[in-house]
Amino acid sequence: MYKAIKRIGASISVSLTLIIGFGVTALLFLGTCKLEDDAFSLDFERRVMIRVTTLQRGLEEAVQVLTVINRLFATIDSPTRDQFHTFTEPLLEKYPHVQAFSFQRFVAGSERAGFERHMQATYPGFGISTMVDGKIVPAPPRERYLVVDYLEPMQGNRAALGLDLSGNDVVMRALQQAIESGKPVSTGALRLAQASTDERGLLVLVPVYRYGMPLNTVAQRRAAVVGDTTAVFHARVLLQRIFNAVGPLRSEDVEVSVYIGTSADTADLVYRSDNAGTGTLLPSWLGYRKPLHIRRTFNIAGQPWHLEAKSAPIALTANHANSLLILCAGTLLTLLAAAYLYTLSMRSRRIQRTVEERTAELRLTNVLLKEDIHARQQVERALQLRQRAIEASANAIIIMQATAPDYPIEYVNPAFERITGYGAGEVAGRSIRVLQSKDGDAQGFADIWNAMREQREGNVVLRSHNKNGGEMWNDFYIAPVKSDDGQVTHFVAALYDITSMKRYETELEFQANRDVLTGLVNRNMLRKLLEEAIAYAERYQRSLWVVFVDLDRFKFVNDSLGHKAGDVFLKTIAGRLRAAVRDTDTIARLGSDEFVIVISEYTGVGLDTRHLQRIQEAVAAPMTIEGHTFFPTCSLGVAAYPDDGRDAETLVKHADIAMYRAKQNGRDNYQFYTPAMNAQALERLRIEGDLRSALERNEFVLHYQPKIDLRSGAVVGMEALIRWQHPELGMVSPVRFISLAEETGLILPIGSWVIRTACAQTKAWQDAGWSKLRVSVNLSVRQFVQKDLVSSIAAVLKQTGLDADCLELELTESLVMNDVEHAIGILSELKELGVRLSIDDFGTGYSSLAYLKRFPIDVLKIDKSFVRDITVDADDAAITVSIISLAHSLKLHVIAEGVETQAQLSYLRLHGCDEMQGYLFSPPVPAERFGELLQEKSDTVTSTLAISSR
């Protein structure tokens, strides 16, 4: 009975031992499997997301390449085929994944024959074609074609030249979307004409618009489009190279499929990794894990892309080494314990104590084993966490062996691959000097080498180059790693990418020393460069010139077309100045329309005025802005070192003074500085300072010179002429201050005062009984181009009560001929107001008779330079008679100014001149005297005319 009970107890003990042992082993096995599966899933998802990010970046970079190509057509009006080839050649070398760059041009059906003949001169046998069922055939007649005109490279893409894409709905929809959105747009997958297989490709299009057309609205862009620039991509080749940029996928554990679309439609498949479709036929319950499947959809250039990644079935033993070890160990221990317990239970009672002790030892062993397993799991988790942290770090981590002399690389994290472009496989076993280039930071690498040789920490700012040759800056930290016995076995280095910060510093330095608009040296940098040039000239006993360049009448461009057109004008002039001087000379922009050029003398190359003539000729070339053609000129002032100054500030100041003398001499010339100019400049500064307050202090007065009708002898009007009664200088001639008022802008308030005062005085004389008087006032360039000219004159007439036809505005030839169309518009508005218009100094400029008949003018005024010699100079007499005849044929009134002799008067009356003014009858007089002259001159004129008619 005892034996039976003991035998039953032994069976129960063995059974309980097996159940408990297998249960604990199963729990440990399943827990460890779950941890290993989670680690595998996270690692797989991380590697897939790297591919997704890489694909997005690669496709965006491909789109950016096309944007660069399109800038050629936005910058240059109708670039040539050679320019297109030159522009795209380096981009094709830099981006080998681009199949081709092309320019598609819209060709009307009526232009097809001419277009084909033009292209056949370069490409014999050329014809507009289309693709039908994968074959290239001549295109059928259409109202309009979208033809591949420019194509680079031609090798491998010849079949696409002349291809008509207007019948391809995919391409036309993409082009229409690009026009509406104003952004690059990608087509869906399509068959390429240059592809020899059925593999798909895609096009990225950017519209090309007619040069200079407005593009603010969709309607404007549709009206201005003339074609598009296209980047052609072989889809499989493009994606293969993008993926390979961060290292090839391991074909044994993942397959990648890419579709152009929003879903995994077989018709949209453009890429599948080489291992796609591989797998195992064995079910998962035979030891294979179920594959993981990840899907991502994103948008590039208006086109959705869909990526799917699936892991290959992996044997259970591949990543479950620890769990299987626990399973085997637990099972073995459980079986051994059960066998041992069973053996002990069958032994005699006298070894019962030993069995119990051994059982207790076994239990203790199981507890220790659990603790060991738990500790091992914690270590593995810590190692995995550190590994993930290193791989997720935004900074590059490098681990190198402490083996001189090369200190080979043992490990790099993904950030290293992203920053440098080198994959882990490319640098493994190689020296860190793989990052050093010929023109790189040799001293920085030497410091790193010294730190490793001395087995210490080191930190340097390192300039190097990535795999593609691009410059990069890194903050490089290195530290030794020691073993338990204190020996240095490895070095760990961290690379912090500071390239963007360095570029920002370079940009700030550039902006501090360069003019933002033109890119030329600014005022601050000019001083430094000029001082260096002076030091060089002094050291080698050479001369140099400081040339102050000021553009003539630049304010007219700004005032008439706006500051945007003015900026275009200045950038164009800056480019011309660069081309007109040597590379060794310095060009700076001081501000507005002022430039300074430093021309140095070198061995065998002296200083010659031909340098100045070349600058003037470069500036004077015709320029068209917003449909208006300008003929710019410039005034140059030259100061020479060492004669005119020995420091930078003095030389620039004296060159500025010489430039003002050039402007005083009629502009469009150059003047060398002389000491006498300095005194004139000081006087000019004084006059400018006093001129600013003269209007407030009521120092201006008007003098009036009468105009005489040569038929009746009556005083029919007068010209209002401004004078400045300076408190110290006395009566200042307008010659000394009018041009200065023009430059400073004071001419606007002064001119407004003149018109208002002249109108008020004329109205007063009319009220006193001289009802037929008409006053004429000169308009300056600045007054003529001000936007409120017409409204301000209308306000003055309303305020003073003077009739509009009693006010005559005199304009010079050069003023109205500078921009004829603009001048005609302003003159028409003034004419609608009712005022009379006169062309002053007629014959001294470059009037075109074709334009003269379009001007709504009333009077031509013969310049006194012709009147002065009409009795002794046959040419002046002939010109005067011609002007009178021309004016009368155009039904215009003629006034001669500067009449000083009886002979001149007789000649003018003989040839039918209508009116005259001059010292023969009266100089300009103050308003107080003019009223007295009205009656006096009436009698004098009558007698004078009687004499001239004899």
How crowded is residue 540: how many other Cβ atoms within 10 Å of its Cβ? Answer: 11
The pLDDT value recorded for residue 946 is: 52
Note whether 97 and 62 are within 8 A (CB): yes
Residue 378: both structure tokens together: 């914690």
Residue with tokens 């940098």: 525
Mean of all residue pLDDT scores within the chain: 81
Instruction: Give the residue, 597 or 727, on which the prediction is more confident.
Output: 597
Instruction: Give the residue, 511 or 16, on which the prediction is more confident.
Output: 16
- Amino acid identity, residue 200? R
pLDDT tops 50 at residue 459? yes
**DSSP β-ladder status, 915-917 and 893-897:** parallel
pLDDT tops 60 at residue 699? yes
pLDDT tops 60 at residue 45? yes
Instruction: Tell me the pTM.
Output: 0.40
The pLDDT value recorded for residue 1 is: 53
pLDDT tops 70 at residue 911? yes
End-to-end CA distance of the chain: 179
Instruction: Give the residue, 675 or 283, on which the prediction is more confident.
Output: 675
Q: Among 86-90, 313-317, 437-441, which range has the highest average pLDDT?
A: 86-90
Who's near 802: CB < 8 A, 6+ residues apart? 759, 760, 762, 763, 766
pLDDT tops 60 at residue 700? yes
pLDDT tops 80 at residue 940? no
Give the C-alpha distances (Å, rounded to integers) separating 182 from 168, 216, 228: 21, 10, 12
Largest CA distance in the chain: 179
Note whether 14 and 344 are within 8 A (CB): no
The pLDDT value recorded for residue 595 is: 95
Number of H helices, E strands in the chain: 29, 36
pLDDT tops 70 at residue 398? yes
pLDDT tops 70 at residue 68? yes
pLDDT (average), residues 822-837: 88
- Say how far residue 53 (Cα) sits from the centre of its chain: 28
Q: How far apart are CA 699 and CA 732, in angstroms?
A: 10
Per-residue pLDDT tens over the stretch 512-526? 678 888 889 888 888
Q: How far apart are CA 433 and CA 437, in angstroms?
A: 8
pLDDT tops 70 at residue 934? yes
The pLDDT value recorded for residue 29 is: 80
Q: Binning pLDDT at 50, 70 and 90, where does residue 916 land?
A: very high
Q: Binning pLDDT at 50, 70 and 90, where does residue 763 land?
A: very high
- Say how far residue 619 (Cα) sits from the centre of its chain: 24
Q: How far apart are CA 755 and CA 59, in angstroms?
A: 67
Q: Binning pLDDT at 50, 70 and 90, where does residue 285 land?
A: very low
Torsion angle defined by CA atoms of residues 795, 796, 797 and 802, in that order, rounded to the nearest 10 degrees: 160
Per-residue pLDDT tens over the stretch 121-163? 888 988 999 988 778 889 899 899 999 999 999 888 888 888 8
Coil, helix or strand at residue 727: coil
Per-residue pLDDT tens over the stretch 210-237? 888 888 898 888 888 999 999 888 877 7
pLDDT tops 70 at residue 383? no
Residue with tokens 């010849």: 158
The pLDDT value recorded for residue 243 is: 73
The pLDDT value recorded for residue 540 is: 86
Cα dihedral sign for 243, 249, 251, 256? Answer: negative
The single-letter DSSP state of residue 910 is H
Closest CA to 642 of 545, 740, 771: 545
Residue 726: both structure tokens together: 């300076």
Exposed/middle/buried for residue 872 (C-beta within 10 Å: 0-12, 13-18, 19+) = exposed
**DSSP β-ladder status, 129-132 and 185-186:** unpaired
Residue 329: both structure tokens together: 């160990």
Give the C-alpha distances (Å, rounded to integers) separating 158 from 187, 194, 206, 674: 21, 7, 22, 68
Q: Among 31-45, 188-202, 921-935, which range has the highest average pLDDT?
A: 921-935
Q: Binning pLDDT at 50, 70 and 90, where does residue 801 land?
A: very high
The pLDDT value recorded for residue 282 is: 45
Note whether 251 and 273 are within 8 A (CB): yes
pLDDT tops 70 at residue 440? no
Coil, helix or strand at residue 853: coil
Lowest mean pLDDT among 11-15, 82-86, 773-777: 11-15
The single-letter DSSP state of residue 934 is H
Residue with tokens 């007063």: 764
Note whether 547 and 596 are within 8 A (CB): yes
DSSP assignment of 835-863: -EEEEEEETSS---HHHHTTS---EEEE-
Alpha helices (H) along 620-733: 648-664, 675-694
Q: Which residues face 925 on adjacent strands?
A: 704
Cα dihedral sign for 437, 443, 446, 447? Answer: negative
Note whether 924 and 704 are within 8 A (CB): yes
Residue 15: both structure tokens together: 């059974």
Q: Which residues face 594 on adjacent strands?
A: 550, 591
pLDDT tops 70 at residue 662? yes
Q: Binning pLDDT at 50, 70 and 90, where does residue 575 land?
A: very high
Lowest mean pLDDT among 91-105, 246-260, 299-313, 351-365: 246-260
Per-residue pLDDT tens over the stretch 886-896? 889 888 999 99
Alpha helices (H) along 263-351: 321-346
The pLDDT value recorded for residue 387 is: 66
Helix, strand, coil fractions of the chain, as percent rounded to 5: 50, 25, 25
Closest CA to 767 of 803, 713, 812, 725: 803
pLDDT tops 90 at residue 348? no
Alpha helices (H) along 494-647: 499-513, 523-539, 554-561, 563-580, 609-619
Who's near 602: CB < 8 A, 6+ residues apart? 542, 584
pLDDT tops 80 at residue 374? no
